[in-house]
Amino acid sequence: SSYVRDLVTGAFDDVNRSSEGDVGSAGLAGSESIFSTDGRFTAMISNSPNLVPGTSVVCRTGPGPDCFNWYLRDRVSGLTKRMSATITDTEMQGEMMGGVGLSADGRTLAFMTVASDLLGPGNDTNLCDTDAVPPLDPCPDIFVRTPDHAEAATADRSGDGDFGDTSLEVLD
């Protein structure tokens, strides 16, 4: 889990939670996190399938959670959003790579992945020779995602993970 300590009150906050307050359930849940300058937003990587509905975190056809997703938690509204999702906001099919970048205000997240389905079927066609064994492999791409936090304050807290409008673009 990822904890934040309030330096004024001394209280600890486990930020590896769903919008309903459920704590992340898998082995490396919330193992890496980064915070906005004011501490309101935290981006965390987790393989917990219970942070956002519709998340299986299975990408290697394993028996359980074997892939990680980036999530953004708004500590004021209590909402958690899966950021490493496809353009239709479904779970991506591929592995995360490298680190993450979060803007100072917590409104923009950049991440790298080899998933080829973030832009929709057939829209990410670049291939690389990463292992010298045919066939060619998906190239890592850097994606930038920005949820609309103005809408998040009035978003449905039913657990569907809906933060309102989201833009997703690829930087090749």
Tell me the C-alpha distance between 124 and 172, whole Å: 10
Residue-level pLDDT at 36: 92
pTM for this model (two decimals): 0.75
Pairing of strands 127-128, 96-102: unpaired
How many Cα atoms are found within 13 Å in the side-chain-facing hemisphere of 73?
A: 30
Residue-level pLDDT at 157: 40
Neighbours of 154 (CB within 10 A): 9
> Nearest-CA neighbor of 73 among 142, 27, 115, 14?
14
CA–CA–CA angle 49, 51, 53 (5° rounding): 75
Residue-level pLDDT at 148: 60
Point out the residues of the chain with pLDDT beneath 50.
149-159, 162-172
Residue-level pLDDT at 64: 64
Residue-level pLDDT at 126: 74
